[in-house]
Amino acid sequence: MATRIRFVVFSPEPAMAEPIISIRGLSNTYVSRSFGLLGKKEIKPVLNNVNLDIAPGEIVGLTGETGCGKTTLARCILGLVHYEGEIIIEGRRQQNSGKSNPPYGPVQMIFQDPGASLNPAIKIGRLLEEPLVINRTGTARQRSLKVAETLARVGLDPSYKTRRVHELSGGQKQRICIGRALIGDPKILIADEAVSSLDVSAGAQILNLFRELRECLALTVLFISHNADSVEYLCDRVAVMQNGRISKTLEL
């Protein structure tokens, strides 16, 4: 009787995607004075050897108690403050300059208070167009089309171009802030408590908008929040910060 030989083919496991953000050994301190300008300088650590990888298209939550360093970590990624360690974005090591974030870079920020983020004296169309003007991107007609496209992407119609900030609800203001961040075609959004100032209904709509943007634009999002329900609903993983360190990372 002939012996049958069975061949077993082992399929290699798919390679892990290269992180779009890789943070290694990140530390940061700030200097304070106990008694005003004449007091003794005190150096206080904010971040202490933070390590974090974020894959392309991933939504990662960052949570922790007040003062644990969440916003400082975001500011380091944006290049707004000096730090020790290494931040690599899209394979490039970031320069530790501490200068202001360019309005047309691969990483853009969405802040907690949308009203304070927008100039009330300027119409919405101009607010959205401003990053394109600063970077001399396209003709006036091309910029106008880009503004209309961006408004549609964040769920607003073209009539909003002629409105001013005081005419908008909190949710609409946050959509404009998201649109302003998106208009330069970034790869990464950092949302710092982006729904905490909104009511439940508007906040839920903004969370759904982040999901839609991830799907249609392959955006990567770092979502900073105290709200456990928002983090669980939106994020793929959550990193928990404690005393300037990431104490654990959990899959959701």
pLDDT computed for residue 117 by the predictor? 87
- Report the alpha-carbon distance of residue 173 to residue 31 in Å, rounded: 35
Structure confidence by residue, pLDDT tens digits, 34-48? 666 666 777 888 999
Radius of gyration of the chain (CA): 21
Bridge partners of residue 14, in order along the sequence: none
Report which residue type is found at 8. V
- Cβ neighbours for 169, distance < 8 A, ≥ 6 positions apart: 202
> 252 vs 222, which has greater pLDDT?
222
pLDDT of the residue at 15: 46
Where do the DSSP E strands lie in 55-120? 59-64, 84-89, 92-93, 107-110
For the chain, the structural domain boundaries read: 21-251
CATH number of 21-251: 3.40.50.300
Q: Calculate mean pLDDT across residues 180-205.
A: 94
Q: By the 8 A CB rule, do 193 and 225 touch? A: yes
Q: How far apart are CA 106 and CA 104, in angstroms?
A: 7
Distance separating the N- and C-terminal Cα atoms of the chain: 54
Q: Give the pLDDT confidence score for residue 47 in this predicted structure.
A: 95
Q: How do residues 166-183 score in pLDDT, each as one tens digit?
A: 999 999 999 999 999 999
Copy the structure tokens of residue 170: 């909190």
